[in-house]
Structures are given as structure tokens and as C-alpha cells.
Amino acid sequence: MPKENLQIVSSAGARESIRVLHLKGPLNIQTVFTLQDALKQETSPALILDFSDVPFIDSAGLGALVAAHVSSQKTMRKLAYAEMNTQVKALIDMTHVSQIIKSYPTIKEAEAALP
């Protein structure tokens, strides 16, 4: 089985305090550390994770999202998720993780929701 990759590109958001991390590839046991490293390196007070190019996540990826939420709470960083596809959103909803993380249909809506 070929090793899967997760590419992450950081870009400026609509306001100076917001950064957007564009994820491309699956978020799974093989790629979760890439996301964790990117989150540790990012220092902006508000962060949006763009899931528009994430085809699926597994339980390790789900755990990484919960860990990112907990970390953002401890550091007072605002964190939002945007553009999750149907499969990813279904997993988030089925596991009730949607009760703790903020997910928006578009990046623009996520930016508007962040202070």
C-alpha cells in the first residue's frame, strides 16, 4: 500500500488575525502528525482548517480534531473548520464531535463567525 500524504498550505484569512490552513489529502493514522506539526507551528489567534480537499478521515484523524479543539481552548485560540464533505461531516456528526467543534459550509462563513 502506498504511503498517503497530507499537504497543508497556510494562507492569510480575510482579516489579519485569521490564518487558513488548506488541507489536501486524507487525514488518517499515516498523516495525522503532519496536521499536528502544522498546528503547533501556527501562531495566529484565529485559525480555520479548510477541509475542501480532504476525501476522508479515520479515527486517528478524528482524534486529532478533538486534540486540536482542546489545545485551542487551552491557548485561547479561535478554531473553526470549513468545507467538510459529506463523509467527513457524517463521521463528525455520528460520533457527536460536532457538539464541540465549529464547522461551517464555507471559509467565508467561518471567517465571519470568528471574532
pLDDT digits (tens, 9 = 90+) for 88-105: 999 999 999 999 998 999
Query: Which domains are delineated in the chain?
Result: 7-113 (3.30.750.24)
Please give the pLDDT value at position 74: 94
**Per-residue pLDDT tens digits for 10-61:** 999 999 999 999 999 999 999 999 999 999 999 999 999 999 999 999 999 9
Residue 98's identity, in one-letter code, is S
Please give the pLDDT value at position 115: 79
Structure pTM? 0.92
Q: How confident is the model at residue 1 (pLDDT cuts 50, 70, 90)?
A: very low
Set of cell numbers at residue 47? 485559525
Query: How far does Cα 71 stand from its chain's mean position?
Result: 13
Q: Helix 59-75 crosses helix 86-94 at what angle (to 10 degrees)?
A: 70
Query: How far does Cα 89 stand from its chain's mean position?
Result: 12
pLDDT of residue 9 exceeding 50: yes
pLDDT of residue 65 exceeding 90: yes
